[in-house]
Amino acid sequence: MMQNKAAWIRTAKGDLEIDEAPYNEPGPGEILIKNEAIAIQPLDASTRKLAYMPIPYPFILGSNVAGTIAAVGADVIDLKPGDRVVSSTPTYVAKEAKWGAWQKYVLSKAESTAKIGDANCDLAVALSFPLSTAVGALHVYGGMEKPGEGNSNAHENEKVLIWGAGGAVGGYAVQYAKSVGYTVIATVSPRGFAHLKEVGASHVLDYKSSEIESQLRKLGPFHYLMTASGDPTSQQVLGRLLQPNGGRFLSTRAGEVGLPSNVERVYNTFEFATQKPEFSEYAHWWYTTYLPRAIGGTVEPTPIEKRSGGLKAIQAAAEDVLNGKAKNKIVIDPQE
Ligand SMILES: NC(=O)c1ccc[n+]([C@@H]2O[C@H](COP(=O)([O-])OP(=O)(O)OC[C@H]3O[C@@H](n4cnc5c(N)ncnc54)[C@H](OP(=O)(O)O)[C@@H]3O)[C@@H](O)[C@H]2O)c1
């Protein structure tokens, strides 16, 4: 019998405990992945420390892995043992520990898995969750086209505002909107100016400037507005930028912020769009076309920080993500 180990969370807000976990055989349509890379996401970190997402305990957190397929279940035709893959697991949708990414051998669904060939597992896993959040927000919930759909010059004179683009979600939102053909304006702290210009933003502005609102007003109006940081201040600024006519903006975070009545905030767990049956056409495109190409080089990856220590390193890494101390996506190899 193969051994498996996991970083368990046994009670709400409890510390992680490294302990044995079941080695699960994949059922129909499922695969078992030898997990070689996880990236710590703000969602995982806030669920660990603040019980942000309701889950049953004991539980194994995390919903994105990259590694090598160890076994496949019945009805899996396009994947086989030995394939290198990146996969989104339904951890927070199905709420069962067997899908949790913070373990050495993880079950996932073949339909939410992309082959990565010779690509680096660390880069693949660091890219997939925030990129899928950005594309899920702009395309699935925002209605923005796919790159290459229609006339690529049609949107040249239309502007998209991405607020708080210093993180992975925001940086990828900039790249996606640019790839569809929009003129992109981003806000970020000055350390991010050069990177965002390189990946396609036409204007980059410091979101902490006292002039930010008037600067943005001069650059608008905006066809799409998104706050990638999702904080209350950003939501309020976007709400005011939409005046006097009103409109809607996308936000990675919810919360009570007191928006004008003519403003709609579009919030969802955008990353989970690939797990929802109503978006199955999108999910197919995502896993078979867009994500493999992005990993292959069509999207510029945000920098990563590789941490040693395996499963034992997750707790401190998650604290750093939650406390804003992680300037890059932290990636850990659970096999260590
Ligand atoms: N709804 C969803 O489906 C979903 C999915 C994934 C993530 N999220 C949320 O989206 C947010 C971004 O996630 P991420 O993975 O991109 O995080 P990340 O890579 O850790 O982003 C961190 C960066 O965001 C910027 N930032 C932080 N606070 C800010 C603020 N108040 N205003 C403007 N920029 C700020 C900072 O950049 P500077 O250096 O420019 O300050 C920081 O370096 C998180 O809140 C996360 O919980 C939501």
- Residue of minimum CA distance from atom 27 in ligand 1: 229
Rounded to an integer, the average pLDDT of 21-33 is 97
Question: Is the CB of residue 274 below 6 angstroms from any atom belonging to ligand 1?
Answer: no
**Nearest to 67, CA basis, from 94, 101, 27:** 101
Kindly state if the Cβ of 295 falls inside 6 Å of ligand 1. no
User: Tens digit of pLDDT for each residue in 236-246?
Assistant: 999 999 999 99
Mean local confidence (pLDDT), 82-91: 96
Length of the chain: 336
146, HSE (Cβ side, Cα atoms, 13 Å)? 10
The pLDDT value given to residue 309: 98
Q: What is the greatest pairwise CA distance in the chain?
A: 66
User: In this predicted structure, what is the pLDDT of residue 1?
Assistant: 64
- The Å distance, Cα 233 to ligand 1 centre, comes to 13
- Cβ of residue 298 lying under 6 Å from some atom of ligand 1: no
Residue of 252, 253, 270, 330 to mutate, ligand 1, most atoms within 8 A of C-beta: 252
Q: Which domains does the chain have, with CATH numbers?
A: 5-118+303-332 (3.90.180.10), 133-270 (3.40.50.720)
- The rounded Å distance from CA 67 to ligand 1 centre is 26
Q: What is the mean pLDDT of residues 207-226?
A: 97
Which is nearest to 209 in space by CA: 244, 250, 237, 248? 237
Residue whose CA lies nearest to ligand 1 atom number 17: 167
CB 25 within 8 A of CB 55: no
The 3-state DSSP class for residue 194 equals helix
The answer to whether 170 touches 211, Cβ cutoff 8 Å, is: no
Residue 44 clears pLDDT 70, i.e. is over it: yes
Over its C-alpha atoms, the chain yields an Rg (Å, rounded) of 20
Phi (first) and psi of residue 27, to 5 degrees:
-90, -170
Alpha helix segments (H runs only) across the chain? 42-50, 91-94, 121-135, 168-180, 193-198, 212-219, 232-241, 280-285, 291-293, 314-322
What average pLDDT does the structure give for the chain? 95
CA proximity to 6, closest of 53, 61, 43, 56 = 61
